[in-house]
Amino acid sequence: MPQTVFPAAGTMFTPSGFSPHLASTCSEADPEEEEGPEEARGPGACAADGPPITSASLDTLIQHLVPTADYYPEKAYVFTFLLSARLFISPPELLVRLCDTCIKQQQLDQSPLDTAKVRKFGPKILQLLTEWTETFPTDFREEKMVGLFKDIIHRIAPCDEAYWKTLNQVLQTLNQKLAAIAQGEESIVKVNASSVSSISDKLVGFKTKPPPIQKDILSICNDPYTLAQQLTHVELEHLSHIGPEEFVQAFVQKDPLDSTQQPCFSEQKKKTTNLEAYVRWFNRLCYLVATEICMPAKKKQRAQVIEFFIDVARECFNIGNFNSLMAIISGMNMSPVSRLKKTWGKAKTAKFFILEHQMDPTGNFYNYRTALRGAVHRSQTANSIREKIVIPFFSLLIKDIYFLNEGCANRLPNGHVHFAKFVELARQVGEFMTWKQIECPFETDRSILHYLHTAPIFSEDGLYLASYESESPENQVEKDRWKALRSNILVKTKELKEHHGS
């Protein structure tokens, strides 16, 4: 089983900051006590002398989210529940339940309203919905969510006209956030389109005489530290667009206790665009590294590129950019690259094996997790923005969160929700939310960034063909593959010429 929360990471993300004490969840509260809970007495905020709560029914957890005139849930609980509840109930349905409960409890469907009571309740429901829009703004892309928000405020506004002003301010801020998110997603789509179109194998057959327009990474940037900085720019840009809900919605399945036939989210509404784009970036960087190594016709040049990327990987490690580090190592370990024994023999590789050891998967990536804890500690005690950077190996983070989601989604035999797992998931995702908010301190180099996103890369077949062109096949299997690949490239080239000719 993957490890989840690191000892050095005890902070919890909330809309207004980070609560260092997210309490363990509690056993289900006594129904008689739910009518008038004390301030901040919920599953995420157990009394010091009370037993720790580990589970509760979904209805009880929803009830703990509902504010009253005398009660408001802890910020940590709000984040934890809004994050994980979507495994069982969609955000619109949850908001319907929340509003219906508020209307009944506060008698908001009665006339006249109890003005004194509503004035105590009003600021609390506004605060809760504001926190929701701040932390999970994409939930409010659906008009139904905004409509429910407006409706509940419409019911309490007769008691204080200031509620309308607050609502308008919240919605204005929300619209600005959603516009920024949409713009970010559009830019990712454009970058992805240019990356996909950059896959090119036609250069392989001309390795001895590469086209003069074909550039390589060393002609764009020959300083490892500078390239590591620009890679960090790309990583942090991707991280900034990923919402916390994507980590849960990526794994949403149908709740077995739900009588409907559909999961909480359709495939269209999972909204994991940014998460998927980040995974594609990792894969592109792997292939770009492999392409740059396999491209040069001369062994000395290939060895030089290997040494360059080793130095880039080391700088990424020093920065705290573990995702680019792992992508570079993965690219250098791809079979078309690793088989280039003569090339590797000419390169100085001592530093590479040290870095490889750091990212060794043995012991559930024990060495990497130790290094990550060190980076987290450095970030928490940082004296500069550069020291705050923590970019985790994303695929492993996804794996960890997948298993946490599995634990969250599995109900207990009595039908209760395993809320203690919610807390673990919130800690892990909350930690990520801290890291993604760091602004990149390095100066942007547009030419390098453009190259990273658009430089032609070989497909896997193209890499093998380039590799065989560099160092001849050593056995019959490789010879057969080489022959098949060359034949395939010739056919594709002929079809391409015929297409352009017509």
Q: How confident is the model at residue 264 (pLDDT cuts 50, 70, 90)?
A: very low
Is this structure's pTM higher than 0.75?
yes
321-372 pLDDT, tens per residue? Answer: 999 999 999 999 999 999 999 999 999 999 999 999 999 999 999 999 999 9
**CA distance linking residue 393 with residue 325, whole number of Å:** 8
Please check whether residue 210 lies inside any domain of the structure. Answer: no
400-443 pLDDT, tens per residue? Answer: 999 888 888 888 888 899 899 999 999 999 999 999 999 999 99
Please check whether residue 410 lies inside any domain of the structure. Answer: no
Considering only 102-106, 207-211, 439-443, which range has the smallest mean pLDDT?
207-211
| Pair 463, 291: CB distance under 8 Å | yes
Question: Which pLDDT score is estimated for 197?
Answer: 54
307 or 204, greater pLDDT: 307
Please check whether residue 232 lies inside any domain of the structure. Answer: yes
Please check whether residue 366 lies inside any domain of the structure. Answer: yes
- b/e per residue 106-131 (b: at least 16 CB within 10 A): bebeeeebeeeebbebbbbbbbbbbb
Q: How confident is the model at residue 195 (pLDDT cuts 50, 70, 90)?
A: low
Please check whether residue 93 lies inside any domain of the structure. Answer: yes
| Statement to judge: residues 108 and 224 lie in one domain | no
123-170 pLDDT, tens per residue? Answer: 999 999 999 999 999 999 999 999 999 999 999 999 888 999 999 999
237-258 pLDDT, tens per residue? Answer: 999 999 999 999 888 765 445 5
**CA distance linking residue 215 with residue 500, whole number of Å:** 24
| Statement to judge: residues 168 and 226 lie in one domain | no
Question: Which pLDDT score is estimated for 408?
Answer: 85
**CA distance linking residue 235 with residue 418, whole number of Å:** 33
Question: For the chain, what is the mean pLDDT?
Answer: 83
| Statement to judge: residues 228 and 369 lie in one domain | yes
**AA identity, residue 489:** I
| Statement to judge: residues 378 and 232 lie in one domain | yes
pLDDT of 17 higher than 80: no
What's the structural domain count of the chain?
2
3-state secondary structure labels for all residues of 131-150: HHHHHCHHHHHCHHHHHHHH
**CA distance linking residue 365 with residue 1, whole number of Å:** 11
Q: Which of 177, 192, 225 is the last residue of a domain?
A: 177
Question: Which pLDDT score is estimated for 168?
Answer: 95
The domain that holds 63 is classified in CATH as 1.20.870
| Statement to judge: residues 129 and 236 lie in one domain | no
| Statement to judge: residues 111 and 247 lie in one domain | no
Question: Which pLDDT score is estimated for 113?
Answer: 87
| Statement to judge: residues 383 and 299 lie in one domain | yes
| Statement to judge: residues 163 and 220 lie in one domain | no
Range of the domain at 350: 215-390+438-457
| Statement to judge: residues 38 and 113 lie in one domain | yes
Question: Which pLDDT score is estimated for 375?
Answer: 97
| Pair 131, 15: CB distance under 8 Å | yes
**CA distance linking residue 44 with residue 447, whole number of Å:** 48
| Statement to judge: residues 256 and 385 lie in one domain | yes
Please check whether residue 409 lies inside any domain of the structure. Answer: no
Q: Please state the rounded mean pLDDT for residues 286-294.
A: 96
Considering only 10-14, 217-221, 440-444, which range has the smallest mean pLDDT?
10-14
Question: Which pLDDT score is estimated for 497?
Answer: 64
Question: Which pLDDT score is estimated for 249?
Answer: 87
| Statement to judge: residues 161 and 265 lie in one domain | no
